[in-house]
Amino acid sequence: MGPRVRVQLLPPLLLLLLRLEACAGARSFQVDYANNCFRKDGAPFRYIAGSIHYARVPRPAWRDRLRKMHMSGLNAVQVYVPWNYHEPLPGLYDFAGDRDLGSFLDLTVELGLLVILRPGPYICAEWDMGGLPAWLLWKPDIVLRSSDPDYLQAVDSWLGVLLPRLRPRLYQNGGNIISIQVENEYGSFSACDYDYLRHLLATFRALLGPDVLLFTTDGNSPAELRCGTLQGLYATVDFGPGPNMTAAFAPQRQYEPQGPLVNSEYYTGWLDYWGEAHASTRPAQVAQGLQDMLQLGASVNMYMFQGGTNFGYWSGADYKGRYKPVTTSYDYDAPLSEAGDPTEKLFAIRTVIGKFQALPAGPMPPATPKFAYGAVPLRKLAEVLELLDVLCPAGPIRSRFPLTFEAVKQAHGFVLYRTRLPRDLWAPAPLSSPPSGVCDRAYVLLEGEYQGRLERDGQTTLNLTGRAGASLDLLVENMGRINFGTNASDFKGLVRNLTLDSALLSDWLIYPLDVDTAVARGWPPRSPPAEGSRARPGPALYTGSFQTPGIAWDTFVKFPGWSKGQLWINGFNLGRYWPARGPQQTLFVPGSLLSPSAPNNITLLELEGAPPRPMLLFLDRPLLNQTVSPHPRAPLPPP
Ligand SMILES: *[C@@H]1O[C@H](CO)[C@@H](O)[C@H](O)[C@H]1NC(C)=O
Ligand SMILES: *[C@@H]1O[C@H](CO)[C@@H](O)[C@H](O)[C@H]1NC(C)=O
Ligand SMILES: *[C@@H]1O[C@H](CO)[C@@H](O)[C@H](O)[C@H]1NC(C)=O
Ligand SMILES: *[C@@H]1O[C@H](CO)[C@@H](O)[C@H](O)[C@H]1NC(C)=O
Ligand SMILES: *[C@@H]1O[C@H](CO)[C@@H](O)[C@H](O)[C@H]1NC(C)=O
Ligand SMILES: *[C@@H]1O[C@H](CO)[C@@H](O)[C@H](O)[C@H]1NC(C)=O
C-alpha cells in the first residue's frame, strides 16, 4: 500500500528517482559479448551454482540445505519449477506448504544466493512426465512441446499465473533471479518446432519484461543445439566431467561465438533406475572437471548439488529401447546426500571453489542426526479387493473396453480393472497383452487369488484356469511417466485390449483408486484385522506404529522380505519401495514427518507378497546400491 500512496501523491518525484536509478546502471544482469562474460551491475561476473529441487526436499529442511550450499562457496542456486506439482487440475493452483515457491525463494534471498530459475514449462528432471501435467493427456491426440493450440493454451494459462509472481523477484526489479531458462533440452526432443520456441520467447518477454536474461540449455552436441536454440535466447550447454573441457564447450561456441561459457548442468553424479547398478562418480573427477571449467572462466551450475527424494509418485522414467523407471531416491551421488549431509565430494568441490573466489567464513554445518528406531511389526489390514468402497468411494466406471488412467482422470498411482471370465477354462488359457499394452505393471487376481503380473517390458502372458463368471481383477500401477527422450505421450493403465485365449476381453468395471486421500483422512482406523485376512500373496494393506525415544530424527526404512509397493508414514507418501529389484533398499524418512511423542502411523501397500513375519526395519544409514534382480531383458526395437 505504501508505494501506491506515494505514487499518487508524488508521481514526478518518483519518476525522477527511477530515472536516476536507471542512469546509475543499478541492478542489471547482462551478457557482455565483447568480453565473454556476464555483467552484474556493470561488473564482470560469473556464477558457480548448484541445483536443488524444492519439490524433492521437505520444506522444514529448505533452509538447512540452502545454508550448506552457501557455505560450500556457491553464489547461486538453479531451481526448476514443476508445472504438474503446482497445477494438479486445469486451473487449480497450489502454492502452499511444500509447494510454497515464494517462501523457498525468500530463503535464497535470506542466504545471499542468486537464483537461476527454470520454469519450464517442460523440465525433464527425471520428474513425472518432465513436469508436464498428466491432464494434458485428457486430449489423447495432443502434441506435447509443440505449437499444438491445445498444448499452447494450457502453457499460456500456466505461465500467466507463474511468471507474474516471478517478475518482482527479477534482479532488475530488486530481486535475486538473475536469469530464466526457457523450455529445457528442447533439442533432444523430436518435434524441433521453432514456432513453439518463438511462442515461448514472446510469452516470457511479455510477462517478464524486456531486460531479464533468457536462455536455453541443451546437450553439447551440434545435433541437440540445432533444435534447442533460438535467436534471442542465450544458448548454454550441459555435460559432466571429462578430460577436455575446452572441447566440451566447443559446440556452445558454434552457437554463441561470443559471450560467457556456461555449463548449466555439470553432472556431479547420476540418477538410478530400478534394476540397474547404483550410479556414482568419483569426487576427484568431479572436482577436476569443475576446476578446468572455472579456469576457462566459465559459469557453472552443478546438477545436482542436492538431489533429494522422489516422494509420492513423482519419479519419472526414461525410454531407451525400453521403459526405465527412476528410483525413489534422487540422491544422485550429489555433494549433499539425499538426507542433506555434506559428503567427501562436497569438500573436494569447496576446495576447488576456494581457489577462484572467497569462501564464506565459518564451518560447514554438520550432518543432521540420524536414528535407528529398529524393527516395527506390521499387521495385514485387508486386501485391496476388500477395500474398494474405501479406496474408490465413487464406485466404478463401466466400459466395454479398457480406459486409460487419463481417460478416467487419474494422474498417478493405481487403477483396478475388473471383468469376468467369459467361459469355463478347464485347461490353462493365456491371458495376454500386446507389448507395452500394460502401463506399467498389472497385478492379476482370479476370484481374489493372486496369479502373477503382466509388465510393460517383461512378461505379457499369464495362464489362467477358472469357471465362467469368475472375477478377474488387474490392479494396474503407474510407475511414472516418461520424462525424456521420446515424443510419445505416455498413457497409463490398460492402454490396449487384453485377450484370453485370443478372444478379446470386454465389459470392464474400472475403479480409479485414491489411497492417498483415504490415508490423509486418517484411514485406516485403529481396529483389529478384518476377519479372514489370510497371509496370502497379492495386493494388500498393512499397518503398524512406532514410538520414538522422544526424538524426531531422520531415519531410513528397510523392507526385509517385502516385494514392491508404496509407503506412508503419518499420512505422508514416502514413495515406492522395490527391494526385490533394487538397487535402492531403504527409503529416506525425514525426521520432520515424525512425532517425538505420539505413535507414528505406518500404512503400507504391498503389491505382490509380504514376508511371513511382516515388519519394517528403521536404520541410521541408507542402502542404495544392492541390485537384486536386474531388469528383465526386453526385446530390442527394430533397427
Ligand atoms: C582440447 O580440445 C581442444 C579443442 O578441441 C584442443 O585444441 C586441445 O588440443 C585439446 N587439449 C588436449 C589436452 O587434448
Ligand atoms: C501356459 O501354458 C502353456 C500350455 O500348458 C505352456 O506352454 C506355456 O509355457 C504357459 N505359459 C506361461 C506364461 O506360463
Ligand atoms: C515422433 O515424432 C515424429 C515426427 O514428428 C513422428 O514421425 C513419430 O511417429 C513420433 N513418434 C512417436 C512414438 O510418437
Ligand atoms: C479394443 O477393441 C475394440 C474392438 O475392436 C476397439 O474398438 C477398441 O478401440 C480397442 N481398445 C484399445 C484400447 O485398443
Ligand atoms: C497415529 O494415530 C493415532 C490413532 O489414530 C493418533 O492418536 C496419533 O496422533 C497418530 N500419530 C500421528 C503422529 O499423527
Ligand atoms: C554399498 O555402499 C556401501 C557404503 O558406501 C559399501 O560399504 C558397500 O560395499 C556397497 N555395496 C555394494 C554391493 O556395492
Could you tell me the distance, in angstroms and rounded to a whole number, from the CA of residue 437 to the centre of ligand 4? 12
- What are the backbone angles phi and psi of residue 359, rounded to the nearest 5°? -85, 150
Q: Which ligand is nearest to the CA of 465?
A: 2
Q: Quick one: pLDDT at residue 631?
A: 72
Ligand 5 atom at minimal distance to the Cα of residue 525: 5
- Nearest Cα to 302, choosing from 74, 510, 485, 585? 74
pLDDT tens readout for residues 312-334: 999 999 999 899 999 999 999 99
Is there a cis peptide before residue 639, judged by omega within 30 degrees of 0?
no
Q: Which residues contact 490 (CB under 8 A, 6 or more apart)?
A: 129, 317, 439, 481, 482
Say if ligand 6 is within 6 A of residue 157 CB: no
d(CA 186, CA 76): 24
Q: Quick one: pLDDT at residue 629?
A: 83
Mean pLDDT in residue range 61-81: 98
Helices 11-23 and 2-9 cross at an angle (nearest 10°) of 110
Q: Quick one: pLDDT at residue 48?
A: 98
d(CA 550, CA 251): 56
Say if ligand 6 is within 6 A of residue 626 CB: yes
What secondary structure, in 3-state letters, does 281-298 show? CCHHHHHHHHHHHHHCCC
Residue 252 has pLDDT above 70, yes or no: yes
- Nearest Cα to 417, choosing from 464, 462, 461, 475? 475
pLDDT tens readout for residues 442-456: 999 999 999 999 999
Instruction: Tell which one of 147, 190, 192, 323 to mutate to probe ligand 3, the residue whose CB is within 8 A of the most ligand atoms.
Output: 190
User: What is the identity of the amino acid at 396?
Assistant: P
Instruction: Tell which one of 545, 595, 601 to mutate to probe ligand 5, the residue whose CB is within 8 A of the most ligand atoms.
Output: 601
The Cα angle at residue 78 between residues 76 and 84, in degrees rounded to 5 = 150
Ligand 6 atom at minimal distance to the Cα of residue 278: 14
Mean pLDDT in residue range 75-84: 98
List, in sequence order, every beta strand (DSSP E) within 274-359.
299-306, 317-319, 323-325
Say if ligand 2 is within 6 A of residue 461 CB: yes
Please list every protein residue whose CB sits less than 6 Å from any atom of ligand 5. 526, 570, 595, 598-601
Q: Which residues contact 611 (CB under 8 A, 6 or more apart)?
A: 560, 561, 562
Residue 15 has pLDDT above 90, yes or no: no
Residue 129 has pLDDT above 60, yes or no: yes
Residue 600 has pLDDT above 50, yes or no: yes
Mean pLDDT in residue range 79-99: 98
Q: What percentage of the chain has pLDDT greater than the value 70?
A: 93
Q: Quick one: pLDDT at residue 638?
A: 42
Residue 359 has pLDDT above 50, yes or no: yes
DSSP 554: B
Ligand 3 atom at minimal distance to the Cα of residue 489: 14
539: exposed, middle or buried (Cβ count in 10 Å: 0-12, 13-18, 19+): buried
Q: Quick one: pLDDT at residue 614?
A: 97
Q: Which residue has the higher pLDDT, 141 or 522?
A: 141
The residue whose CA has the least distance to atom 12 of ligand 6 is 625
In this prediction, residue 533 has a pLDDT band, given cuts at 50, 70 and 90, of low
Q: Quick one: pLDDT at residue 632?
A: 64
Residue 10 has pLDDT above 50, yes or no: no
In this prediction, residue 19 has a pLDDT band, given cuts at 50, 70 and 90, of very low
Is residue 167 helix, strand or coil? helix
Mean pLDDT in residue range 351-364: 96
CA distances from 227 to 29, 181, 218, 237 (A): 26, 15, 9, 13
Catalytic residues: 185, 265
Q: Which residues contact 531 (CB under 8 A, 6 or more apart)?
A: none
Residue 249 has pLDDT above 70, yes or no: yes
Say if ligand 6 is within 6 A of residue 471 CB: no
- Count of alpha carbons within 13 Å of 581, Cβ hemisphere only? 19
Q: Quick one: pLDDT at residue 5?
A: 33
Could you tell me the distance, in angstroms and rounded to a whole number, from the CA of residue 625 to the centre of ligand 6? 6
Q: What percentage of the chain has pLDDT greater than the value 90?
A: 90
**Alpha-helical segments (H) within 565-633:** none
Say if ligand 6 is within 6 A of residue 625 CB: yes
d(CA 488, CA 319): 10
- Grid coordinates of 342: 555434506
d(CA 449, CA 451): 6
Q: Quick one: pLDDT at residue 531?
A: 53
Contact 64, 341 (CB under 8 A): no
CA distances from 320 to 436, 442, 484 (A): 14, 22, 9
Q: Quick one: pLDDT at residue 535?
A: 82
Q: Which residues contact 151 (CB under 8 A, 6 or more apart)?
A: 136, 142, 143, 144, 145
Ligand 5 atom at minimal distance to the Cα of residue 545: 1
Q: Which ligand is nearest to the CA of 547?
A: 5
Ligand 6 atom at minimal distance to the Cα of residue 625: 1
The residue whose CA has the least distance to atom 4 of ligand 2 is 428
Q: Quick one: pLDDT at residue 523?
A: 74
142: exposed, middle or buried (Cβ count in 10 Å: 0-12, 13-18, 19+): middle
In this prediction, residue 291 has a pLDDT band, given cuts at 50, 70 and 90, of very high
Q: Quick one: pLDDT at residue 156?
A: 98
Sheet holding 449-455, edge to edge: 397-399, 508-512, 414-420, 471-477, 441-446, 449-455
- Nearest Cα to 118, choosing from 344, 341, 303? 303
The residue whose CA has the least distance to atom 11 of ligand 1 is 244
Could you tell me the distance, in angstroms and rounded to a whole number, from the CA of residue 571 to the centre of ligand 5? 10
Q: Which ligand is nearest to the CA of 333?
A: 6
Is residue 579 helix, strand or coil? coil
Following CA atoms 162, 168, 173, 176 in sequence, which dihedral angle do they give, to the nearest 10 degrees? -80
How far from the centroid of its chain's Cα atoms is residue 105's Cα? 19
Could you tell me the distance, in angstroms and rounded to a whole number, from the CA of residue 250 to the centre of ligand 1? 10
Could you tell me the distance, in angstroms and rounded to a whole number, from the CA of residue 146 to the centre of ligand 3? 12
d(CA 124, CA 137): 17
pLDDT tens readout for residues 203-239: 999 999 999 999 999 999 999 999 999 999 999 999 9
Ligand 3 atom at minimal distance to the Cα of residue 488: 14
Q: Quick one: pLDDT at residue 526?
A: 65
Residue-wise burial string across 43-79, b where 16 or more C-beta atoms lie within 10 A, e elsewhere: eebbbbbbbbbbbbbbbebbeebbbbbbbbbbbbbbb
Instruction: Tell which one of 425, 432, 463, 502 to mutate to probe ligand 2, the residue whose CB is within 8 A of the most ligand atoms.
Output: 463
Could you tell me the distance, in angstroms and rounded to a whole number, from the CA of residue 570 to the centre of ligand 5? 7
In this prediction, residue 564 has a pLDDT band, given cuts at 50, 70 and 90, of very high
Q: Which ligand is nearest to the CA of 439?
A: 4
The residue whose CA has the least distance to atom 9 of ligand 4 is 401
- Helices and strands: H and E segment counts in the chain: 13, 35
Residue 267 has pLDDT above 60, yes or no: yes
- Grid coordinates of 542: 498393512
Record the pTM: 0.93
- Grid coordinates of 345: 565430494
Q: Which residue has the higher pLDDT, 5 or 555?
A: 555
Instruction: Tell which one of 408, 497, 500 to mutate to probe ligand 4, the residue whose CB is within 8 A of the most ligand atoms.
Output: 497
Please list every protein residue whose CB sits less than 6 Å from any atom of ligand 1. 244, 246-247, 250
d(CA 498, CA 505): 6
Instruction: Tell which one of 624, 625, 626, 628 to mutate to probe ligand 6, the residue whose CB is within 8 A of the most ligand atoms.
Output: 625
Residue 616 has pLDDT above 50, yes or no: yes
- Looking at every residue in the chain, the average pLDDT score rounds to 93
How far from the centroid of its chain's Cα atoms is residue 498's Cα? 31
In this prediction, residue 12 has a pLDDT band, given cuts at 50, 70 and 90, of very low
In this prediction, residue 26 has a pLDDT band, given cuts at 50, 70 and 90, of confident
d(CA 521, CA 543): 15
DSSP 327: P
Q: Which ligand is nearest to the CA of 497?
A: 4
Could you tell me the distance, in angstroms and rounded to a whole number, from the CA of residue 518 to the centre of ligand 5? 15
Beta bridge partners of 463: 430
DSSP string, 84-139: HHH-SBTTB---SGGG-HHHHHHHHHHTT-EEEEE--S---TTBGGGG--GGGGGS
